[in-house]
Amino acid sequence: MEIENSFSVEGVEARGALCVECMKDVSAGEAVVERRGAVLCRACAGEFYVGCAGCGGLTPRDESLERAENEGMFCAECFGRAAQPGEGEAPPSEEETAALVSEFVALHAEKKRLDERMEEIKETLKRAAGARPRISNAVVLRAGDSSVRCSYAVKTAYDPDQLSAVEALLGREGFEAIFERKVTFSPFKDKLEEFLSAADEEYAAARDAISAAARQTEVTTLNVVAPKKRKSP
């Protein structure tokens, strides 16, 4: 869903004379304000700020949040309420909500039973397919007009340490001609939070760089809460 940015810097009057980012004097015609009223020069606004896809106000890039649906960057306030399914519709009543909760719990239990049975059937059918000849690396099991295809594929994984020895033999250019290098980063949450909350100046630039590199997305999940067991009298 495309969201039009309605923020217009030309229609905003700045309340101040210094840019809060570069601390330089800002002439009246060149000043803009971010969503909380701080004064910015146009250069800093373009480099360090982005328009919120919800309210349209300028928000710092390192504080903006991106939704999983790739609908743009949001300020913290708009992030929690923007682009929800059924947005604009009235929320269900208490009675409707209670009925939906009961139906969801019942369907969740039925889905769990069906999923478990599906897995049992899949494993049994795999054994049945394994006893039959493959055609084009697949086996088709039939029951009247119904059929199930069991396909076979080989996936290869390479040991990173052993491939490092290959790279030493081929050189970086030769190695990267036949392998794509992928790097992912997973933080140690507690240690990272401790590092980011520190106040020492030695690693201030590193903390700012980490904050700028972070992109947060919101993932909504719905789970059934197991009922509490009643204590026997």
pLDDT higher than 80, residue 167? yes
Within 8 A by CB and 6+ apart from 220, the residues are none
Which of the listed residues 113, 131, 151 is the one where a domain comes to its end? 151
Residue-range definition of the domain harbouring residue 128:
94-151
For residue 233, is it within any domain? no
For residue 220, is it within any domain? no
pLDDT at residue 155, as a whole number: 84
Token code pair at residue 136: 């084009």
Claim to verify: residue 134 and residue 168 sit in the same structural domain:
no
For residue 116, is it within any domain? yes
For residue 191, is it within any domain? yes
For residue 165, is it within any domain? yes
For residue 171, is it within any domain? yes
101-118: per-residue pLDDT in tens? 999 999 999 999 999 999
Of 12, 22, 90, which is closest to residue 51 (Cα–Cα)? 12
Q: Are 51 and 201 in contact (CB under 8 A)?
A: no
In Å, how far are 36, 63, 99, 110 from 212, measured between CA atoms?
Answer: 20, 8, 44, 45
For residue 86, is it within any domain? no
Number of domains present in the structure of the chain: 3
pTM, two decimal places? 0.47
Claim to verify: residue 75 and residue 14 sit in the same structural domain:
yes
Claim to verify: residue 143 and residue 175 sit in the same structural domain:
no
Of 44, 77, 81, 72, which is closest to residue 60 (Cα–Cα)? 44
Distance CA(78)–CA(64), nearest Å, equals: 10
pLDDT at residue 16, as a whole number: 47
**Structure-model confidence comparison of residues 133 and 31, the more confident one:** 133
For residue 166, is it within any domain? yes
